[in-house]
A and B are shown apart, each in its own frame.
Chain A
Amino acid sequence: MITGNIITDFSLLILFLPLVAFTVNIFFGKRLPRQGDWVSIGAILITLILSLSMLLNMFMNWDPDFSHEAKFIWMDLGAFKIELGFWVDNITIVMLVVVSLISSMTHIFSLEYMKGDIRYSRYYAYLGLFTFSMNGIVLANNLISLYIFWELVGVSSYLLIAHWFEKPSAAAAGKKAFLTNRVGDIGFFIGIMLMFTAIGSFNIQEVFTGVSQGLIGGSLLTLAGVGLFMGAVGKSSQFPLHIWLPDAMEGPTPVSALMHAATMVAAGVYLTVRLFPLFSPDALLVIAYVGGFTALFAASIAITQNDIKKVLAYSTVSQLGYMILAVGVGNYIAAFFHLLTHAMFKACLFYGSGSVIHAMHHSLHELDDHDTDPQDMRNMGGFKSKMPITYLTMTIATLAISGVPFFSGFLSKDAILAGSLGFAQHYPQHFLLPVFGFGAAAITAFYMFRLIFMTFHGEAKMPKVFKGIHESPRVMTFPLMLLSGLSIFIFYTLPYLNPLSDHGWFTELIRAGDSVVPGNPTAHEIGEGVHHAHYTAMALSLLVAGLGIGLSYLMYLKKKLSAEVWANKMGLLYKLSYNKYYFDENYDRFLYQPLLKLSRAVAYVDWDLYDKYFINGFGRVTKWLSFLTGRIDYDGLDQSIVDGIGRATQGFGKQLKQVQTGRLQNYMLFALVGVIIILVIQTI
């Protein structure tokens, strides 16, 4: 049994240990033995142990309503106070475990993957900074500290994406990620400020109370909710701000696994899960449609991509869309569940791709071939025999993401799909939401198996390269094995063993809370809808998953169906998908270029007209005035009055000096004259 204070202490340690590692590595990393990686790994392993002990404690308590808040006043500004603090409940604890687990795996994986990197210690320092910020988001009990850590996560994401900043594409990708996130963060900040203006507090639970009291409502609440959701759109890479995540794959692969698959992008989902009770029905609809559309849309891009990491990136966008969709339809616990399972298998997939790229890279390096793209799946094939562990673990993760029974993805995906189906049954006008969901599920199964088949099956496309392929060392396969193990259903359904039902510790311990917005359906009503739709959803999801896998099997393994023929048949659609619906191009043409033109015009007005004539004119007038004043002051005032007084005093002194003759009798005479003057004055 861990009491509240110890929870606070643990949380403090979990939060600040990675920061300590960051500080040590950023300042002394290069001077430490092994460039200080052991500092970071030690810190993150302690964090993992602490998180696991908190998880163990959660199991021992078995209290679904566990909630612990610790706070202190940061700024007391009289009229209002800003507090900092922790809000620890079961969701927080699970999220802490996810973050520290994936972060630990990344630290370990990077030992080999980043070996010999020129900025090795800085890389570990940034990992520490990221873990610190991410834990800060997870633990935050108020919106303002949430926002601070939110931005810190953005910074560390920027730093890590642009880790190889010598590559212009990496530098550009970092910039793009940061700026795109900023767009969302503006909405996030507006949402926070709207909440604060209406309720007068940043504390999340006080905000909930304020919303339930009706301090903020109607369209203003919807606006605030959409604003807060915009933060999630940016960070979780939802349509239309999804453009940064695929580019972010320029960063090192372990970073992609940690941040751009498992944790950081999940921060947006975590935010909506945490703040779910305050979203108004309209805001939730916006969330549901954005999420559902993103799920289908991103999946449709993933089909045609050839870069192994790009496929996974679009897959991530699509899966995050799933989670957002689940939040939107009110089944936010399913969203969190999917976040948890997705973190495990998607991190595993990224590590797997990292392992493959690592092997390719080494093989190409030995062949002295620097032109072949080590990430292009068209250059792979048949790696199954060379990299058995990577193949096996990635296949397990792929089964999980495709929603095959006995794997974790099936449970969480099923819950999400059931939620959207239940929602559509209740509101038939929103029939599109389950269509998005099931469509995306089918496509996901298709492109994930396409990835597996293209990479590991068939014959090697480049035999020379194939010869040099080796299985990765233990430090890289260990995280793969661990995470693929965690993709098995059993870890989420204990103490029950039914592979087809998500009933288990998760559903027992993490229960949906009621929305605090008056008029929203209660958690029970939503749960009823999900329950009704459960079996239909399960059957449908199994059907679409089988369809996707089967199609993929026929097309890429058996070659019964030619991918090229189909691509030609669907010419336009294929082209759209292959070029990612021309989003970057259109943003460039309709958003960036006009903006740049506008900026240039404004700059012209500002610099060439306003600055040159108005500001500089002011400057000239001021200069002229100063010159004049200087003349008056120096030549006039100083010379005549100030110096004049001095000269007068000096002259007077010179005159008076002559009185000081040193002759006693002169003095006496003066004294006498003085006496006479005094007497005369007296007499008169």
Chain B
Amino acid sequence: MAEFTFWIVVGITLGSAFMVVQSKNLVYSAYALLFSFIGVTGLYVFLWADFIAVVQVVVYVGGILILIIFGIMLTNKITSVNISHASVQKKVGAVAVLGMAFLLGYMVISTPWVTLANVEPAETTAAIGRLLMMDYLLPFEVASLLLLGALIGATTLSRKED
């Protein structure tokens, strides 16, 4: 059952991702991206990452995706919707990307992975919070600064000159 569910989730993720890069309509791409994100969230759940899964839903689906859709809306005139978008260098890109994928897959196969028999944790939130506040305090603070900078920068950039 779980196995079956896993492959369903994988299918949703990759299929939606394919739609994202393939669809001619930008709005369709955005919606496919939504499903891809949700699929990835499922994979996180399979990987015992409950907190990250929640964050994924909140940030990506609730934040970034909305942001992207806003971006689409702001940069295309709604009235004369021409949201379709062409692709360039498809064949060369496909070959290069396939080569890359092949190489990475070869790497995955040929590497003798050491797998540890980890026990499923009860919950991860407390451990993450402890790590953030102790071992990774500095990166945490830097990240908060970065977010602040991004906020200011984004506002400055998108503001109309007047």
Contacts and interface: CB of A to CB of B under 8 A. Distances in A.
B110 to A, nearest CB: 9
Contacts of B97: 672
Contacts of A663: 88
Interface string B93-105: 1001101100100
A672 B100 contact: yes
B93 A676 contact: no
Interface string A650-684: 00000000000001011001001101100110010
Contacts of B89: 665-666, 669
A676 B88 contact: no
A682 to B, nearest CB: 9
Interface in B66-116: 88-89, 92-93, 96-97, 99-100, 103, 106
Contacts of B106: 683
A238 to B, nearest CB: 108
A311 B31 CA distance: 138
B93 A683 contact: no
B88 A675 contact: no
A672 B96 contact: yes
A671 to B, nearest CB: 10
A665 B86 CA distance: 14
Contacts of B88: 663, 665
B92 A669 contact: yes
A659 to B, nearest CB: 13
B103 A679 contact: yes
A669 B96 contact: yes
Interface residues of B, number: 10
B92 A676 contact: no
A649 to B, nearest CB: 27
Chain B interface SS verdict (over half): helix
B96 A683 contact: no
A666 B106 CA distance: 26
B99 to A, nearest CB: 5
Contacts of A679: 103
Contacts of A666: 89
Chain A interface SS verdict (over half): helix
Interface residues of A, number: 11
Nearest to B106: A683
Given A665-B88, A665-B89, A666-B89, A673 B96 contact: yes
A424 B100 CA distance: 125
A490 to B, nearest CB: 122
A680 B104 CA distance: 11
Contacts of A675: 100
A673 B93 CA distance: 9
A425 to B, nearest CB: 127
B106 to A, nearest CB: 7
A389 to B, nearest CB: 118
A679 B106 CA distance: 11
A675 B89 CA distance: 18
Which of B89, B93, B96 is packed against the most chain A CB atoms within 10 Å? B96
A683 to B, nearest CB: 7
A675 B103 CA distance: 10
A276 B20 CA distance: 122
A393 B29 CA distance: 139
A683 B89 CA distance: 27
B96 to A, nearest CB: 5
Nearest to B87: A665
A452 B96 CA distance: 128
Given A665-B88, A665-B89, A666-B89, A680 B103 contact: yes
A680 B103 CA distance: 8
A574 B74 CA distance: 139
Interface in A211-246: none
A683 B88 CA distance: 30
A684 to B, nearest CB: 11
Contacts of B100: 672, 675-676
A683 B103 contact: yes
Contacts of B99: 676
A672 to B, nearest CB: 5
A660 to B, nearest CB: 15
Nearest to A671: B96
Nearest to B93: A669
A663 B99 CA distance: 22
A230 B103 CA distance: 104
Contacts of A673: 96
Contacts of A683: 103, 106
A125 B89 CA distance: 97
Contacts of A665: 88-89
Contacts of B103: 676, 679-680, 683
Nearest to A675: B100
A679 B99 CA distance: 10
B105 to A, nearest CB: 12
A380 to B, nearest CB: 121
A378 B18 CA distance: 140
Contacts of B96: 669, 672-673, 676
Contacts of A680: 103
Nearest to B88: A665
A680 B99 CA distance: 10
Interface in A135-158: none
A340 to B, nearest CB: 112
Nearest to A682: B103
A64 B64 CA distance: 124
Nearest to B103: A679
B22 to A, nearest CB: 16
Contacts of A669: 89, 92-93, 96
A313 B99 CA distance: 116
21 contacts: A663-B88, A665-B88, A665-B89, A666-B89, A669-B89, A669-B92, A669-B93, A669-B96, A672-B96, A672-B97, A672-B100, A673-B96, A675-B100, A676-B96, A676-B99, A676-B100, A676-B103, A679-B103, A680-B103, A683-B103, A683-B106
Given A673-B96, A675-B100, A679-B103, 10 more contacts: A665-B88, A666-B89, A669-B89, A669-B92, A669-B93, A672-B96, A672-B97, A676-B100, A676-B103, A680-B103
The 4 A-B pairs with the shortest beta carbon distances in the complex, nearest first, are A679-B103, A676-B99, A672-B96, A673-B96
